[in-house]
Amino acid sequence: MKKLTKMISILMIIMILISVGTTVFATVTGVNSPSTMTGADVGGTDTIEKMGNQIITILTIIGVIASVIVLIVLGIKYMMGSAEEKAEYKKTMMPYIIGAGLVFAASSIAGMLYSFLTNIGTTAG
């Protein structure tokens, strides 16, 4: 059963990679064909930037909520656990703290990377 699951997973990954790399042969006719499009019709980087900011905000909120819930659960288990269980929870706390720190700092890290990369793009051109 495990081999079958691994094979299906590998096949799905291969199919995803193939579908991303394939060329689409399509034509656009009518009002929005490339010959009738003006500069106002084409979406610029502003829409991509707004969408990226929204995605980062949503992921950050979900991560913060999940990390707070996990912290509450670990805290309750730590308070109710025996001495051996408390030692186990202490071991799991360090990876949790590192992960929660990354979740809380993710939007700041993404913002710093974005500003760094845009500054490189403006100074190179």
Mean pLDDT of 76-80: 85
- Domain range list for the chain: 48-125
Name the nearest CA neighbour of 95 among 71, 73, 116.
Answer: 71
The per-residue pLDDT for range 51-68, each reduced to its tens digit, is 877 887 787 788 888 888
Q: State the pLDDT at residue 41.
A: 47
What is the rounded radius of gyration, in angstroms, for the C-alpha atoms of the chain? 24
Looking at this protein, which amino acid is placed at residue 51?
Answer: M
The conformational region for residue 38 under phi > 0 = left, psi -120 to 50 = alpha, else beta, is beta
Q: Using the structure block, give the residue that is written with the tokens 């109710």.
A: 80
Which tokens belong to 106?
A: 């993710």
Handedness of CA 98, 102, 103, 108 (dihedral sign): positive
The per-residue pLDDT for range 1-52, each reduced to its tens digit, is 777 777 777 777 776 666 665 555 555 565 555 555 555 545 556 787 788 7
Q: What is the pTM of this model?
A: 0.50
Q: State the pLDDT at residue 93.
A: 83
Please check whether residue 106 is in contact with residue 57, taking contact to mean a CB–CB distance below 8 angstroms: no
